[in-house]
Amino acid sequence: MTTQKATFGAGCFWGVEATFRQTPGVVATAVGYAGGTTENPTYKEVCSDRTGHAEVVEVEYDASRVSYEDLLKIFWENHDPTQLNRQGPDVGSQYRSVVFFHTPEQAATARSSKERLEASGRFRRPIVTEIVEAPTFYPAEDYHQQYLEKRGLAHCSIG
């Protein structure tokens, strides 16, 4: 099995991780921080909205079982990509909608997917999701990993 990585920010990473963990073909997930200026940031630092990081989920997947396009579909369907620097009650740039691509193919697929969604008329407001090259991923503290599962919760709404 050859695995690939995908990295998504769609609000609070607990629910995002739980959604991707339930996806057949996803081999592993990790929550963390990406896209900021502070090396090895802590949750407290990221929540200050001063580091520039987004809360993200790094998804390791078996591309023979689930495609990157399928992962993007899950990403788009499980949050509101028209909300700038927020998702629901969570406000701050750490909750921004972002796709961090790992390859030129992922970049092209993500941009095409976003264009199709914008053209579909599904949203009344413009999609504000950033699509940028994956920077360094900093894993979040252990207590954040599989947070909902550790508490006996199967999922939480990220939409």
Q: How far apart are CA 83 and CA 58, in angstroms?
A: 21
**Residues facing 90 on adjacent strands:** 87
> Which two three-digit tokens encode residue 124?
């009344």
> Which two three-digit tokens encode residue 149?
């599962």
In three-state secondary structure terms, 27 is strand
Burial 100-125 (b: 16+ CB within 10 A, else e): bbeeeebbebbeebbeebeeeeeeee
Catalytic residue numbers read 12
Q: How far apart are CA 74 and CA 71, in angstroms?
A: 5
